Each structure stands twice: as structure tokens, then as C-alpha cells.
């Protein structure tokens, strides 16, 4: 066929070939039949070969005799070699390394429980959850060999991290060698803070140890499970009304409580900390009303940190005309800075004074480092719904502040301990971090009150129906160690408000309103009568209007606060605690 | 063997080839299409009414909608999220066009993990706080309200948990529902 030159297409060439066959030009007689027979056979076998090839390529090819060694002996776990690396039968490993493996009702996902922590595995997904953490794998677990097959990094991130096993895959000899990690020696920092009737004991570790907490009357032990603590060179000296002593041994930390005292605990991460709140039974749930702190300075508002929202590549909301939230928040912050300084004589710090990215946690850090008395994050809003307008003021939801703590509550029988080192007030920088996540928890009540003052004045200024102050788990408020609010001064997504917000006179009214609220709060905190507001511009159409009535201090809900809905953890009442760093 | 016979054999071979290719393709489709199939053992899909939290004004309103779901919690979570991400009749979208649900997981502790992806975008869409609250809590509230096995929802963006989606909300941990956003 190939021999016959073909000026046309394939069909033409094929026709000539057949003609050639018939004429005996190329093949003839028996050869002709053999050729066609072979052709037919090949054609029939071709699909089968193609299918077989495809089948061989699709699932990971099972290869032979890779082995798993545990403590020198062979562990009968199936191993499958794939182009992305080896996969190991999990069931056999669970039988030998400990833990339990359960399939869900659909057989679609599995829960592996190791040392009390759950690992959720979905077939075909390279993401697993270990406790509440998301962990990525090099390749997804799959079904095969009659079991669930997992990659070696799965084993390292589960059995390795949770139970102290080491996994060493040796491709040359196709062996997975499993060994038990030697006990780690983990240093510990201890901090004991007593404030307003409650003591907070914090044990901080550079890495999470494996531990369990044992309670007895008058005593709490943090007992190591496999790891060892590095005791501090000098025993911690604790002088505290509720904690008699804290002793650190290589295998445990013992907190000796005063008679009657009780301790509750929870865990914080980054860095890993076990926190104990020690209190007398009658004091436990009673929120402490804000009163004069036992500090060197009289209470007052001397430093205010203003946080212009967003910045840099984070534009924030964008209005219909293209104006960006980050530009207007900076403009308003500068205008408010000038007004607060000139009118109230306070020191004002801006978290950013240029168009630059600034992480949310860094904003709070600036406020804390400046020992600010108030933190105000300025924003402009946008909504998916039509017709949204007006101003809104938020303070942190209690759930968010607890959650820093909570992380879903510590499981006391689980995993990992710590050691202290001790005495009160050490390693300043580390200790500054220790209670960071809890910072705003201690100020929720004041934040709520300050938010209500701001919203009340803005309602009058903007002639708004009172929507009350709101709570949300806003990250920028979480670490603030002072009353902190986030104010949305208008909806930039609303064309009318976008236009107004670009008008200097309108912004001046907003700035005046915020200044009045700060002034009122300052007067309240400093326990003196409110200053006259005559010099302040009143709301549009109401020159010289009096500032709104101030809500009385109370826990929940404050006047105008959105009511909490049962079951909504986002609106739980604030529960101030009596430890703090300020 | 004459020309007719040769043509017959060739035709047969081509038909077998086409049949083999079709079988192969169907096999592949079955394997890749598991995401949209109900999980094995979860029963047949049936219409079930759900209360979905839909952006409205400055909050969320509850709207009852019927979705085809199986009894599997993960399937319900997936269908709810997909319904919320789909464009609404009024043209309003919870997320911009192109944002899709890449995966769902449900932990034993009751945390639902939703992995949202947006091709060509590293970051979630910029927005004001109300818009961010509406986006995040439309998903959180709808899932926790309708799927008893889910008590909290963690949102991932391109497979990763982020400190925040749009510069306000703390999305670094699983979120409980926020009922206060309900407008009516």
C-alpha cells in the first residue's frame, strides 16, 4: 500500500492498495489471506490492548515486597508504590501503633483517633484535619489492597506528631522503618499574674508537649506523657493569694492551690500555652465591673490609637465610582487625629499613615505597644443587599475572645504538657505574648460601652434609626488590651453615601461625632462631669444638639446592643476575667 | 478474500475500536464524577426543604428552599453551599462569578470545612465588613442551621485557612453561627 503513490486522501490510498492486492502487484494468493487475517486479528486485539494499557496506568500499580519494619520486626502492612510515592495500609498500622480507625456511614471518610485526637480522612482528598488543624498531604489517601492506603507524610503528621513515632522511608531497599522517638526535653516558661481577685497561671512551651492534667482537691498536676520538662535553674518563687506554689519536675508541673481555690484550664497556641484561671468559688462567674484599676496611674484616656482600615494591596470596599475604602479611612483618621489632639489634648497614634499593607495583628500590636487607652478601627462598609446605608459600630463578640482561649476547650485527657520556669515577671517579650489572645476579653464591657456611645452620637449626627451596637469576631479587635471598637462610618457601596463621604464638610460632621463620643467616654472613665459640647457641631439640621445619653455600665445587653439569641455563641455575654497585663 | 470482506473486517475493527474508546471514556467519567454523585450508602437523593440564609440589606434573611440531597451530612453541606454560591434570580451572587466549592469535609467534632477556590485569584474578593459578614455567615448559618452534625464551619480559601477573608472577620478558626445577622 505504501508503495503506491497517492495524490489523494487516505481512502484513495487504501483503494489502490486493495487493487494492488487483487492484481497481485504487492501481495497475492496465500499472502493476501495471511495479510488480511493478521490485519483482522490486530484490529480485534487493538481495543483490548488499549484498554489493558489504560487499566494499568489508572490505579497505582501494586508492586511487591516493600516492607514495613517496626522495632526491628516486619509489620504485615500492605504497601503500594505509586509514581507519587509509597502508600501504606493504615489498618495494619493502627493495629500495631495504637489508635482506632472508624469509617463513616458512607465509607467516604474515616476518623483515626490517636491519643484522643481525631484525624479526619476523606478518600481522594490530600487535605486532612488533625483536631482542628488543616494538614496537607503529598498525595491523597486512596482505597486499595482492601484497606485505606496513606502516604508516609500522613503517618508523620499523625502518628509522628501525636504519638511520637518516627517514619523513615528508604526507597533503595523499599523499606519503611518505624521507630519510637526519644523523649523530648522541653523548656517551659511560667507566669503567674494576680489581678482583681483572680490568678492566671500560664505555662508556655516552644512546642506542644504530650501531657494530661490531673486534678485533686487543692492541687493540679500537668503530667508529661513521654516527654520531659527542662526544669528551670532556679525553682519558681510564687507569692500569690490563690496559688501557694508551682513546682516543676521533669515529669510534671504541680500547682498547689490555696484552700478553697479552684482552677479551670484551657490551651492557647502560637506559642503553645496551658492557662489556668484560679479563683475562689464565689468569684468565678461574677463579672467584675470596670472600676479603678490598681495601677500606678489614675484611670483616664491619654493615648488613642486610630486604625485606618486596609491599605496597600488591600483596598477594602470599592465604591461605584471607584473610590477605595483604604483612601477614605486614612483621610478620616488624619482628620480625627487632628481634632482629638486639639480638642481633647490626648496623644493620638495612627497604625498607618501611608498607603501600605499592615497585618491585622500588627495594628493591635501598635496599640498595645503604645499603651493606648482606646483603640478605634475606622472602616467604610459595603453590602451585598441593596439600599444599605448608615453607620455601625462593632465590638468583639465574646465567642471570638473566648475562642482564642477555647479552641474548643481543652481536652484535659489529651495530649501535651509543659514545664515552667518560674517566678513572676520574666522574659518580657515572651510574657507579653502569653496573654495576648486574652487581651480583649478583659475589656469587652468597656468596649461595649464605648461602642454604644459612638453609635448613639452617630445615630443623631446621621439621623439614623438606632440599630444598636453589634458584635462580631473581628480579628483586629482580638488582641487589643484596651477598650476597642470598629466603626463603619458609612456604606461606600451606596452611591449617595460614597458621594457624601468624599465631601469634607460631611466628614467633618463624622469626625466631630466621634470626638464627642471619645470625650464623653473620657469623662466617664475619669469620673468627672462631661465637658460642655457647645463647640461641637451638632447633627445636620440640629446645630448644637446635645450628645446622646450614655448607657449605664452593665454587662449584657447594653442599650442598643443586638440581643443575643439563645444558642448563638457569637453573642454570649462578655465574661471579664481578672488577670491582665496592663 | 475480496474487497467486500476486507471492508467488512475493517468496519468491524473500527466499530470495536470506537466501542473500546467509549467504554474507556465512560470508565473515566465514572471515576472523575464522584464529587457529584451521592455517596455510596447514603440513600437516594430526595427533595428536602432547607432554611438558607440569604444576603439582605445589611444582614441575612432566611429563605426556605428545596434541595435534592441524600441523607449524608456531607452531601447536605455540599448542596447547601452550592445553592448559596449559585447566582440568584435577582442577579445577586454571594461570591463573584468563578468562586466555586472545591471540597467539603466534616470532622467528628462537628466542624465542617469548606474549601472555596477562585481560579486566577490568590485572595478572596475585597469588601466592606457587612459584605464579608454576609458572605461568611450565609454559609456558616445555613450549614449549622440545617445540618445537625455540623456545629461550626471553617472556611478555606484555595485549600488554606486564612486569618481573614476581607480584612475584618477572623476566619482562622471554625466559626459558630451568628444569629444576630438575621434581618427578618
Q: Which of B128, B148, B164, B166 to mutate to test the interface with A (most CBs of A within 10 A)?
A: B128
Category of A471 on φ-ψ map: left (φ > 0), alpha (ψ -120 to 50) or beta: beta
- Residue for grid cell 519536675: A249
Decide if B122 touches A, using CB distance below 8 A: no
Nearest chain A CA: its distance from B66 CA (Å): 23
A386 and B6 within 8 Å at the Cβ level: the answer is no
Q: Considering CB atoms only, which of B13, B20, B55 is closest to A40?
A: B13
CB contact under 8 Å between A120 and B105, yes or no, is: yes
pLDDT band at B1 (very low <50, low <70, confident <90, very high): low
B65 touches chain A (CB under 8 A): no
Is B56 in Cβ contact with A134 (below 8 Å)?
no
Determine contact: A357 vs chain B, CB below 8 A: no
A107 CB near a chain B CB, below 8 Å? yes
Query: Is B91 an 8 Å CB contact of chain A?
Result: no
Q: Buried (b) or exposed (e) across B117-147, using 16+ Cβ within 10 A?
A: ebeeeeebebbbbbbbbbbbbbbbbbbbbbb
Tell me, what's the ipTM? 0.76
Cell match 515486597: residue? A65
Cβ-based neighbours of A118, under 8 Å, separated by 6 or more: A111, A112, A129, A130, A131, B107, B108, B109
Per-residue pLDDT of chain A (582 residues; tens, 9 = 90+): 333 433 333 333 333 333 333 433 444 455 666 766 666 666 666 666 655 555 554 444 445 588 999 887 888 899 999 888 999 999 999 998 988 998 877 777 888 988 778 888 888 888 788 776 677 788 889 988 788 999 999 999 899 888 888 899 988 888 999 988 777 788 888 888 776 567 888 888 888 887 778 888 889 999 887 778 887 777 778 888 899 999 998 889 999 999 888 888 777 766 788 888 888 875 443 333 333 344 446 778 999 999 999 999 999 999 999 999 999 999 999 999 999 999 999 999 999 999 999 999 889 888 988 889 999 999 999 999 878 899 999 999 866 544 444 443 333 223 333 322 332 333 333 334 434 556 677 788 899 999 999 999 999 998 877 777 899 999 999 888 899 999 999 999 999 999 999 999 999 999 999 999 999 999 988 875 554 443 333 333 332 333 333 333 232 333 333 332 222 333 333 333 333 332
In degrees, rounded to 5, the angle at the alpha carbon of residue A236 between the alpha carbons of residues A230 and A241 is 140
For residue A488, the model assigns a pLDDT of: 95
Is any Cβ of chain A less than 8 angstroms from the Cβ of B13? Answer: yes
Q: What cell was used for A424? A: 513572676
Q: Is A100 on the interface with B (CB under 8 A)?
A: no
* Cis omega (within 30 of 0) for bond into A557: yes
Question: 3-state SS of A201-217?
Answer: EEEEECCCCCEEEEEEC
Indicate which of A106, A130, A389 best probes the interface with B, i.e. most B CBs within 10 Å of its own CB.
Answer: A106
Rounded Cα distance between A288 and B55, Å, is 38
Sequential DSSP letters for A82-151: ETTEEEEEHHHHHHHH--EEEE-TTSSEEEEEETTEEEEEETT-SEEEETTEEEE-SS--EEETTEEEEE
Rounded average pLDDT over B135-151: 96
Residue A494's nearest CA partner among A384, A393, A392 is A384
Of A21, A120, A472, the CB nearest to B108: A120
d(CA A212, CA A194): 25
- Statement: residue B168 has pLDDT above 50: yes
A451 contact B CB<8A: no
pLDDT of residue A528: 56
Q: Do A136 and B133 touch (CB under 8 A)?
A: no
A134, A360, A384: which to substitute to probe chain B, counting the most B Cβ within 10 Å?
A384
- Torsions phi, psi for A144 (to 5 deg): 175, 160
Cross-chain Cβ contact B168/A383 below 8 Å: no
Rg (CA), chain B: 22
**Structure-model confidence comparison of residues B35 and A423, the more confident one:** B35
CB contact under 8 A, A51 and B161: no
* Contact flag A127-B56 (C-beta cutoff 8 Å): no
Residues 6+ apart with CB under 8 A from A223: A211, A212, A213, A214, A251, A252, A417
Half-sphere exposure of B80 (CA within 13 A, CB side): 32
Residue B169 gets which letter from DSSP?
B
Instruction: Tell the residue number behind the cell numbers 486479528, with chain if given.
Output: A41
Q: Tell me the three cell numbers of residue A91.
A: 489498618
Is B168 in contact with A474 (Cβ distance < 8 A)?
yes
pLDDT tens digit sequence for B92-126: 899 999 999 999 999 988 999 999 999 889 899 99
| Minimal Cβ distance to B131: which of A317, A471, A563 | A317
- For residues B103 and B145, the answer to whether their CB atoms sit within 8 Å is no
A285 vs chain B: nearest CA distance in angstroms? 23
B168 close contact with A: CB closer than 8 A: yes
Residues 6 or more apart whose Cβ sits within 8 Å of residue A499: A321
Q: Say which of A48, A106, A492 has its CB closest to residue B128.
A: A492
| A399:B176 CB<8 A | yes
Contact B41 A33 (CB under 8 A): no
Say whether B130 and A382 touch across the interface (CB within 8 A): yes
Please check whether residue A383 touches B, CB under 8 A: yes
Query: Which three three-digit cell numbers place residue B168?
Result: 475584618
B85-99 pLDDT per residue, tens: 999 887 889 999 999
The answer to whether the Cβ–Cβ distance between B134 and A570 falls below 8 Å is: no
Amino acid at each position: 500500500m505504501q508503495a503506491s503513490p497517492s495524490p489523494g486522501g487516505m481512502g484513495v490510498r487504501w483503494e489502490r492498495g486493495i487493487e494492488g492486492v487483487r492484481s497481485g502487484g504487492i501481495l497475492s494468493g496465500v499472502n493476501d489471506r495471511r495479510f488480511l487475517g493478521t490485519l483482522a486479528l490486530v484490529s480485534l486485539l487493538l481495543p483490548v490492548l488499549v484498554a489493558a494499557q489504560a487499566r494499568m496506568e489508572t490505579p497505582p500499580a501494586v508492586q511487591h515486597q516493600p516492607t514495613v519494619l517496626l522495632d526491628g520486626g516486619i509489620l504485615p502492612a500492605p504497601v503500594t508504590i505509586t509514581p507519587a510515592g509509597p502508600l501504606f495500609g493504615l489498618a495494619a498500622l493502627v493495629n500495631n501503633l495504637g489508635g482506632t480507625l472508624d469509617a463513616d456511614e458512607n465509607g467516604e471518610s474515616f476518623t483515626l483517633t490517636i491519643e484522643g485526637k481525631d484525624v479526619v480522612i476523606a478518600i481522594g482528598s490530600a487535605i486532612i484535619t488533625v483536631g482542628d488543624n488543616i494538614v496537607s498531604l503529598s498525595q491523597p489517601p486512596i482505597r486499595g489492597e482492601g484497606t485505606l492506603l496513606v502516604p508516609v507524610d500522613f503517618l508523620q503528621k499523625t502518628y509522628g506528631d501525636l504519638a511520637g513515632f518516627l517514619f523513615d522511608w528508604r526507597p533503595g531497599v523499599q523499606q519503611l522503618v518505624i521507630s519510637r522517638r526519644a523523649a523530648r526535653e522541653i523548656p517551659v516558661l511560667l507566669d503567674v499574674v494576680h489581678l482583681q481577685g483572680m490568678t492566671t497561671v500560664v505555662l508556655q512551651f516552644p512546642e506542644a508537649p504530650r501531657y494530661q492534667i490531673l486534678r485533686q482537691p487543692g492541687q493540679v498536676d500537668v503530667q508529661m506523657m513521654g516527654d520531659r520538662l527542662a526544669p528551670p535553674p532556679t525553682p519558681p518563687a510564687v507569692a500569690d493569694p490563690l496559688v501557694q506554689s508551682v513546682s516543676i519536675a521533669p515529669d510534671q508541673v504541680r500547682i498547689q492551690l490555696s484552700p478553697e481555690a479552684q482552677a479551670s484550664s484551657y490551651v492557647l497556641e502560637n506559642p503553645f500555652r496551658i492557662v489556668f484561671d484560679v479563683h475562689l468559688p464565689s468569684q468565678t462567674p461574677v463579672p467584675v465591673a470596670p472600676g479603678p484599676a490598681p495601677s500606678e496611674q489614675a484611670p483616664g484616656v491619654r493615648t488613642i490609637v486610630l486604625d485606618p482600615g486596609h491599605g496597600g494591596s488591600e483596598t477594602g470596599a470599592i465604591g461605584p465610582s471607584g473610590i477605595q475604602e483604604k483612601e477614605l479611612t486614612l483621610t478620616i483618621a488624619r482628620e480625627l487625629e487632628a481634632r482629638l489632639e486639639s480638642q481633647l489634648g490626648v496623644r493620638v497614634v495612627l497604625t498607618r499613615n501611608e498607603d501600605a499593607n499592615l497585618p491585622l495583628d500588627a495594628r493591635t500590636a501598635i496599640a498595645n505597644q503604645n499603651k493606648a487607652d482606646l483603640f478605634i478601627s475606622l472602616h467604610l462598609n459595603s453590602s451585598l443587599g441593596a439600599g444599605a446605608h448608615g453607620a455601625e459600630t462593632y465590638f468583639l463578640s465574646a465567642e471570638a475572645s473566648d475562642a482564642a482561649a477555647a479552641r474548643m476547650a481543652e481536652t484535659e485527657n489529651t495530649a501535651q504538657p509543659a514545664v515552667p520556669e518560674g517566678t513572676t515577671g520574666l522574659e518580657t517579650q515572651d510574657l507579653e505574648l502569653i496573654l495576648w489572645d486574652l487581651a480583649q476579653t478583659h475589656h469587652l464591657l468597656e468596649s461595649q460601652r464605648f461602642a454604644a456611645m459612638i453609635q448613639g452620637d452617630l445615630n443623631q449626627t446621621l439621623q439614623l434609626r438606632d440599630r444598636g451596637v453589634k458584635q462580631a469576631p473581628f480579628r483586629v479587635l482580638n488582641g487589643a488590651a484596651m477598650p476597642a471598637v470598629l466603626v463603619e462610618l458609612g456604606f461606600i457601596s451606596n452611591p449617595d453615601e460614597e458621594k457624601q463621604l468624599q465631601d469634607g464638610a460631611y466628614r467633618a460632621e463624622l469626625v466631630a461625632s466621634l470626638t464627642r463620643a471619645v470625650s464623653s467616654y473620657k469623662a466617664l472613665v475619669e469620673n468627672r462631669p462631661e465637658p460642655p459640647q457647645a463647640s461641637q457641631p451638632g447633627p445636620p439640621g440640629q446645630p448644637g444638639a446635645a450628645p446622646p445619653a450614655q448607657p449605664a455600665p452593665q454587662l449584657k445587653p447594653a442599650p442598643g446592643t443586638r440581643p443575643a439569641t439563645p444558642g448563638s455563641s457569637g453573642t454570649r455575654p462578655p465574661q471579664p476575667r481578672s488577670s491582665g497585663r496592663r | 478474500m475480496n474487497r467486500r470482506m476486507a471492508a467488512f473486517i475493517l468496519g468491524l475493527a473500527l466499530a470495536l475500536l470506537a466501542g473500546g474508546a467509549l467504554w474507556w471514556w465512560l470508565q473515566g467519567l465514572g471515576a472523575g464524577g464522584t464529587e457529584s454523585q451521592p455517596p455510596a450508602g447514603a440513600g437516594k437523593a430526595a427533595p428536602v426543604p432547607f432554611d438558607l440564609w440569604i444576603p439582605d440589606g445589611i444582614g441575612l434573611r432566611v429563605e426556605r428552599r428545596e434541595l435534592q440531597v441524600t441523607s449524608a451530612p456531607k452531601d447536605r453541606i455540599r448542596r447547601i453551599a452550592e445553592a448559596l454560591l449559585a447566582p440568584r434570580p435577582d442577579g445577586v451572587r454571594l461570591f463573584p462569578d468563578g468562586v466555586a466549592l472545591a471540597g467539603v469535609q466534616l470532622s467528628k467534632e462537628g466542624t465542617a470545612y469548606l474549601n472555596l477556590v477562585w481560579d486566577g485569584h490568590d485572595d478572596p474578593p475585597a469588601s466592606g465588613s457587612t459584605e464579608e459578614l454576609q458572605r461568611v455567615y450565609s454559609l456558616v448559618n445555613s450549614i449549622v442551621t440545617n445540618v445537625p452534625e455540623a456545629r461550626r464551619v471553617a472556611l478555606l480559601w484555595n485549600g488554606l485557612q486564612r486569618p481573614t477573608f476581607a480584612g475584618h472577620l477572623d476566619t482562622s478558626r471554625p466559626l459558630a453561627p451568628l444569629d444576630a445577622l438575621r434581618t427578618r
